[in-house]
Amino acid sequence: MIVIENLYKKFGEVTILNNINLHIKQGETVILKGVSGSGKTTLLSIMAGLDKPSSGKILIDAEPISKLPDAFASKLRAKKIGMIFQHFNLFEHLSVEENVMIPLVPSGLKQNVIREKVKNALDLANISHKKSMLASRLSGGEKQRTAIARALVANPNIILCDEPTANLDKENSLMFIEILKELHGQGKTIVVATHDPLFEYLSFENKVIPMVDGAICE
C-alpha cells in the first residue's frame, strides 16, 4: 500500500508537486496521466525513493521511505519496488541476463538462487531467448522487456513505470500493456506515469489520476 499525504516538492520558488494526497491499495493499478511537466515523473521518483519531497509524508507499506536511513531505504527499494524507466536505463555493456541480475547482487542470495530468479523474470518478460545478448544490441521493445524483467526479478509488490511506452512502437506498447495485465492479475500494485492514450482504455480494472501543474485534478 502506498500512502501519500500533503506532499510538496519545490525547487527554489518553483512548486513541482503541490499538496498531493493519494492512497493506492495493494493490487491496484493507477495511471498518473498528464502532459510533460505536470509532475507525474517527480511523484513516481519520490514513491520509489529516488528523490525526496520538500514536505509531506509518503509511506510504502507503512514505511516512510524518504525518511529512512540509506541502508534501510535501499533494502526497501530492492525488496518492494520494481522500477521501469522511460529510457530503459540498462547497462549497455552487460548482457540481458547480467542486467536483470543487478538488483539481486547485493541481496546476499546464493548464485544458483539468483540464476533461478533471473530465469523466471526473463521468462515472464518473454526475453529469455536474448539472455546472452548485449543490451546495446537490443531493439527498443527488447530493451523494454529486459527492463521489465529487471523490475520483476526481486518479485516486488509494487511496480512503478515512468513513461514506459514513450520509446516503443504500437505493437510493443500493446505487448507491454499485456504484461501489465498479467502482473495486475498476480496482485501487484502498479503505478504508471504516462501521457500515452493507449492507457486510457485498459482491459483491466484501473484508476486514472489526471495531473496538471503538479497537482491531482479530482
Which residue stretch of 7-15, 20-28, 78-86, 183-191 sits at the interface with other proteins (rule: CB under 8 A)?
A: 78-86
Instruction: For other proteins, give the closer residue by CB, 15 or 198.
Output: 15
In 3D space, the residue among 15, 6, 11, 14 whose CA is nearest the CA of residue 55 turns out to be 6
Three-state secondary structure of the chain: CEEEEEEEEEECCEEEEEEEEEEECCCCEEEEECCCCCCHHHHHHHHHCCCCCCEEEEEECCECHHHCCHHHHHHHHHHHEEEECCCCCCCCCCEHHHHHHHHHHHHCCCHHHHHHHHHHHHHHCCCHHHCCCEHHHCCHHHHHHHHHHHHHCCCCCEEEEECCCCCCCHHHHHHHHHHHHHHHHCCCEEEEEECCHHHHHCCCCCEEEEEECCEECC
Among 3, 68, 102, 166, binds other proteins (CB under 8 A): 102
Q: Minimum Å distance from CB 12 to other proteins?
A: 15
Residue 78 is a binding residue for other proteins (CB under 8 A): yes
Compute how many other C-beta atoms are within 10 angstroms of the C-beta atom of residue 71: 8
CB nearer other proteins, residue 117 or residue 206: 117
Residue 13 or 70 with smaller CB distance to other proteins: 70
CB closer to other proteins, 163 vs 175 = 163
Q: Shortest Cβ distance from residue 116 to other proteins (Å)?
A: 12
Q: Which of residues 109-138 bind other proteins (CB under 8 A)?
A: 109-111, 114
Shortest distance (Å) from residue 207 CB to other proteins: 25
Taking each helix axis from N to C end, the angle separating 170-185 and 140-152, rounded to the nearest 10 degrees, works out to 10
Number of residues that bind other proteins (CB under 8 A): 35
Using CB under 8 A, pick the residue from 10, 57, 79, 195 that binds other proteins.
79
Ranges within 155-214 binding other proteins (CB under 8 A): none
| Nearest-approach distance from CB 119 to other proteins, in angstroms | 15
- Could you say whether residue 89 binds other proteins (CB under 8 A)? yes
What residues line the site for other proteins (CB under 8 A)?
45, 48-52, 70-71, 74-75, 77-79, 81, 83, 85, 89, 91, 93-94, 98, 101-111, 114, 150, 154
